[in-house]
Amino acid sequence: MTTRWFGAPVQRVEDDRLLRGRGRFTDDIDQGALECCFVRSPHAHARITSIDVSAARQMPGVVAVYTAADLPFGGVDLPLLIPHPNLTHGRTQRCLASDVVRYAGEAVAFVIAESRYLAEDAAELVQVEYEPLPVVITPEVAARAERLVHDDVPGNVAAEMVQEVGDVNKALAGAAHRKKLSLRYERGAASPMEGRAVWARWLSAERKLTVFDSTQSPTSIRGGLAVLFGLPESNVEVIAPDVGGGFGPKIMLFYPDELLVPYAAMQLGRPVKWTEDRQEHFTAVNQERGQVHEVEVGFDDEGRVVALSDDFIHDAGAYTPYGIILPIITAAQVPGPYRIPNYRVRFRDVYTNATPTSPYRGAGRPHACFVMERTLDAIAAELKLDRIEVRRRNLIPPHAFPYEVGVAWQDGNTVVYDSGNYPELLDRALVLLGPRPEGDGVGMGLAIYVEGTGVGPYEGAHVQVLVSGKVVAATGIPSQGQAHATVWAQVVADELGVDVADVEVTSGDTRRFPWGVGTFASRGAVTAGNAMHVAARMVAGKAKHIAAEHLEANPDDLELVDGRVRVKGSPDRGMPLAAVAVLANPVRYAFGGGTEAATQFAARPRPGPPLQEGEQPGLEATGYYSPPGSTWASGCHAAYVRVDPKTYRLEILRYVVVHDCGRVINPLVLQGQIEGGVAQGIGGAFYERLAYDADGQLRNASFMEFLMPYATEIPPIEIDHIETPSPLNPLGVKGAGEAGVIPVGAVLASAIEEATGMPITEMPLSPLKLYELSRSLNPG
């Protein structure tokens, strides 16, 4: 393969329409749609004693008001998406609550009106009476089980899981040194700039349901809607149009609106649209990161870990729609790039009266990295060793791959690192970081992480060469800004020997490609990217086969270059790919575009029927890629910071990243992913924190108080790469979407600890947190 586009900094093909204001986000679609507003519970835990919607129903402009009693599926629990044997007490909510609400923001009624303004007016007329119940709000309180979130879930424990590699008790008993740490991570929020939105239309004559949804998984939404409404999947179309950021929580099915909006459209015979507002995004969209870890580590005189025990509680929130994927990932990722010969991890997934949790960029990994890196810093402090040296002594060496960690992974396999070079990451990061800046109060932090990416089960792609010679390609998974249309065009263009500008990619539209799973877990490039590669290669093979007959050559002697199929070494002997596309479809009726060349009286190079056994018309193919296991990306981040001794303002003096995601498809896109990830990590480590009070009220449900960083808070990020190709997939790629976020908390904790001299055991921090910590260490 002559690689031209793979690896090149190709500028994005998506940009033009987005820059001109011609993007198509779900709320941009109107077509006379009715609009909706939810009535949500103001209580974190309460029994509903009555719901009166009569005044709302009578308001002019209101078309319908639904409560659970009005829905044929009102009594059905929403799907538990990822069941697991250890999830013994999984619970999911109903579309609209009718009995008990278990978090502030849980949906109770749904108002549909001629406009959003009227729907909001009518929502205020809905009278719901509640009898408040005791609230369980932190993971520690939940684990004490003095009060229950679900009456029938003893101890508030949804799931418990214990895994052990080696013999931790024995190794701890024999260790020269032992140390215990208590570490805490609080909830944050993904906060994509576009909230969620759903638009639906039902064409009763065709029995066709069309749904635009700002989801990360249109194929799964389609499957679910088909089941719920008893329709063949072919009668349900789900499209994720332009999606304004996802970062995880847009892959939940179903949020209540994803059922209610299509249902309303079918009932009312008009298009219906619901667009979330920012306040409800804060309470009704899944969150993540709340965990409390109790760690014990045993180590030798050189700082080598001989045993690690981690017992942690994961804050599930009020329900477990996403199963126990998050604590499974944390449990698997605590060891990170380090050799831990004896490792035991136990987690309990506990219910609280807060918004449910599901993966948010990083998904269980930032906490795992924080735990491991804080532990290594503690070892260095205990032995008065250099923090870098302690890490170096524990890193898995480059010759140890494949390296089996031996604990469960999120795809049902166990964790096996496929490739990497962790010492090289560390060395390069130190070079890039450079000398310590002058002045007092400077702290250095560093963290190394791995990330299981490219999880299965599979993705697919369809690639077709049109008779114009242009190429169209489609896959099921949508983009939320990751430049799918550009990078997959690069992959396809290489296989077909065409210009990248001649490949038009559609993603996340079940009308174009109905199969697949979704965009999450840094998996797009690995799964859909390789599926594109597979499908394009099949098309290239078909093109060679057809052209070979016309060129009287062996298919193996042909190559696809510059939009032509030609004989290697004799570039004049060839034909345009467009002509091959014509010949691929024998026709009776020439319909233009050169198709007369494929009619039945045209010259044919072979006897027999035009389409022979096993052949299919069209220069097209559908290919799939199903990974045998996750492929493991890795990286090292390091920083110098300064903390103002009076105001505790954080100044990040330098921040460097050395990253390894295998072969890089597009360095521009990758740089954007990393820069954006680090910024999100900095926000999550020092500015953003979801502040629930003891009554389960989220006290900062707005951008006024949930402090997402602006440009003024984010420093320049210096980036370097190494490439250890994955041996698991044809392209040798690993995922990169989440990498930037993962180690930031660990890096800043280490740096701030050194800068301030105060022990850092929790995330996120803030100037206020540091001030409070200082007061607690120096009372009076």
Partner 1 sequence: MRVNGVDHPAPADTRLLLSDHLRHELGLTGTHVGCEHGVCGCCTVLLDGAPVRSCLMLAVQAEGHDVTTIEGLARDSGPLHPVQQAFHESHALQCGFCTPGFVMSVVGLLAQHPKPSAQEIDEGIAGNLCRCTGYASIRRAVTRAVELSK
* Residue (343 or 706) nearer to partner 1, CB: 706
* Residue (305 or 670) nearer to partner 1, CB: 670
Strands 46-52, 291-299: pairing is: unpaired
Based on the number of CB atoms within 10 Å of its own CB, is 9 exposed (0-12), middle (13-18) or buried (19 or more)?
exposed
User: CB of 214: closest distance to partner 1 in angstroms?
Assistant: 10
* Residue (41 or 216) nearer to partner 1, CB: 216
- CA quadruple 30, 360, 323, 233: dihedral positive or negative? positive
* Residue (331 or 669) nearer to partner 1, CB: 669
Asked if 668 touches partner 1 (CB under 8 A), the answer is yes
Task: Give the CA radius of gyration of the chain.
Answer: 28
Give the separation between CA 226 and CA 66, rounded to whole angstroms. Answer: 21
User: CB of 18: closest distance to partner 1 in angstroms?
Assistant: 3
3-state helix/strand/coil string of 233-276: HHHEEEECCECCCCCCCCCCCCCHHHHHHHHHHHHHCCCEEEEC
* Residue (25 or 73) nearer to partner 1, CB: 25
Give the separation between CA 75 and CA 93, rounded to whole angstroms. Answer: 10
| Residue range at the interface with partner 1 (CB under 8 A); choices 295-303, 609-617, 633-641, 704-712 | 704-712
* Residue (557 or 718) nearer to partner 1, CB: 718
* Residues 8-27: x where in contact with partner 1 by CB under 8 A, - otherwise, as a string: ---xx-xxx-xxxxxx-x-x
Asked if 716 touches partner 1 (CB under 8 A), the answer is yes
User: CB of 60: closest distance to partner 1 in angstroms?
Assistant: 14
| Residue range at the interface with partner 1 (CB under 8 A); choices 106-114, 495-503, 640-648, 702-710 | 702-710
* Residue (247 or 632) nearer to partner 1, CB: 247
Give the separation between CA 325 and CA 331, rounded to whole angstroms. Answer: 10
With CB under 8 A as the contact rule, the residue among 90, 105, 188, 192 that binds partner 1 is 192
DSSP string, 355-388: --B---TTTTHHHHHHHHHHHHHHHHHHHT--HH
* Residue (194 or 310) nearer to partner 1, CB: 194
Count CB neighbours of 416 within 10 A: 19
With CB under 8 A as the contact rule, the residue among 223, 271, 445, 677 that binds partner 1 is 677
| Residue range at the interface with partner 1 (CB under 8 A); choices 76-84, 204-212, 507-515, 664-672 | 664-672
DSSP 8-state symbol, 437: P
* Residue (280 or 754) nearer to partner 1, CB: 280
∠ CA 65-67-69, nearest 5°, is 125
* Residue (455 or 744) nearer to partner 1, CB: 744
| Residue range at the interface with partner 1 (CB under 8 A); choices 98-106, 494-502, 610-618, 678-686 | 678-686
3-state helix/strand/coil string of 476-518: CCCCCCCCHHHHHHHHHHHHHCCCHHHEEEEECECCCCCCCCC
Residues 421-480 that bind partner 1 (CB under 8 A): 480
Closest to 191 in 3D by CA, of 714, 700, 763, 692: 700
Closest to 575 in 3D by CA, of 608, 549, 612, 541: 549
Tokens 């480059």 map to which residue? 398
* Residue (139 or 676) nearer to partner 1, CB: 676
Asked if 672 touches partner 1 (CB under 8 A), the answer is yes
* Residue (469 or 481) nearer to partner 1, CB: 481
Residues 577-596 that bind partner 1 (CB under 8 A): none
Give the separation between CA 77 and CA 511, rounded to whole angstroms. Answer: 29
User: CB of 14: closest distance to partner 1 in angstroms?
Assistant: 7
Please say whether the beta carbons of 529 and 664 come within 8 A: no
With CB under 8 A as the contact rule, the residue among 191, 342, 353, 527 that binds partner 1 is 191
User: CB of 213: closest distance to partner 1 in angstroms?
Assistant: 15
With CB under 8 A as the contact rule, the residue among 31, 712, 776, 778 that binds partner 1 is 712
With CB under 8 A as the contact rule, the residue among 114, 164, 557, 675 that binds partner 1 is 675
Asked if 30 touches partner 1 (CB under 8 A), the answer is yes
Size of the site for partner 1 (CB under 8 A): 55
Give the separation between CA 334 and CA 370, rounded to whole angstroms. Answer: 8
* Residue (383 or 717) nearer to partner 1, CB: 717
Residues in the chain: 780
Q: What amino acid is encoded at 529 in this protein?
A: G
Give the separation between CA 745 and CA 99, rounded to whole angstroms. Answer: 40
* Residue (20 or 384) nearer to partner 1, CB: 20
User: CB of 347: closest distance to partner 1 in angstroms?
Assistant: 29
Asked if 117 touches partner 1 (CB under 8 A), the answer is yes
Strands 100-101, 272-275: pairing is: unpaired
Asked if 285 touches partner 1 (CB under 8 A), the answer is no
User: CB of 194: closest distance to partner 1 in angstroms?
Assistant: 4
List Cβ neighbours of 149 (8 Å cut-off, separation of 6 or more).
Answer: 45, 102, 136, 142, 156, 318, 351, 352, 353
With CB under 8 A as the contact rule, the residue among 2, 85, 151, 193 that binds partner 1 is 193
* Cα separation values, 225 from 246, 412, 573, Å: 21, 27, 52
Backbone angles phi, psi at 227, to 5 degrees: -65, -50
* Residues 344-383: x where in contact with partner 1 by CB under 8 A, - otherwise, as a string: ----------------------------------------
Closest to 408 in 3D by CA, of 493, 308, 335: 335
Asked if 678 touches partner 1 (CB under 8 A), the answer is yes
With CB under 8 A as the contact rule, the residue among 138, 630, 631, 671 that binds partner 1 is 671
DSSP string, 87-105: -TT----BSS-SSEE-STT
Asked if 482 touches partner 1 (CB under 8 A), the answer is yes
Residues 226-255 that bind partner 1 (CB under 8 A): 242-245, 247
List Cβ neighbours of 609 (8 Å cut-off, separation of 6 or more).
Answer: none
User: CB of 465: closest distance to partner 1 in angstroms?
Assistant: 26
Asked if 708 touches partner 1 (CB under 8 A), the answer is yes
* Residue (130 or 247) nearer to partner 1, CB: 247
User: CB of 241: closest distance to partner 1 in angstroms?
Assistant: 11
* Residues 737-776: x where in contact with partner 1 by CB under 8 A, - otherwise, as a string: ---x------------------------------------
- CA quadruple 146, 147, 152, 155: dihedral positive or negative? negative
List Cβ neighbours of 11 (8 Å cut-off, separation of 6 or more).
Answer: 486, 668
Give the separation between CA 353 and CA 142, rounded to whole angstroms. Answer: 9
Asked if 194 touches partner 1 (CB under 8 A), the answer is yes
Residues 254-283 that bind partner 1 (CB under 8 A): 277-278
For residue 393, how far is the Cα from the chain centroid? 33
Give the separation between CA 619 and CA 542, rounded to whole angstroms. Answer: 7
With CB under 8 A as the contact rule, the residue among 249, 256, 359, 481 that binds partner 1 is 481
| Residue range at the interface with partner 1 (CB under 8 A); choices 307-315, 560-568, 588-596, 696-704 | 696-704
Please say whether the beta carbons of 682 and 741 come within 8 A: no
* Residue (300 or 713) nearer to partner 1, CB: 713
* Residue (53 or 243) nearer to partner 1, CB: 243
Asked if 711 touches partner 1 (CB under 8 A), the answer is yes
Give the separation between CA 62 and CA 441, rounded to whole angstroms. Answer: 61
Which residues sit at the interface with partner 1, rule CB under 8 A?
11-12, 14-16, 18-23, 25, 27-28, 30, 116-117, 190-195, 242-245, 247, 277-278, 480-483, 668-669, 671-672, 675-680, 702-704, 708, 710-712, 714, 716-717, 740
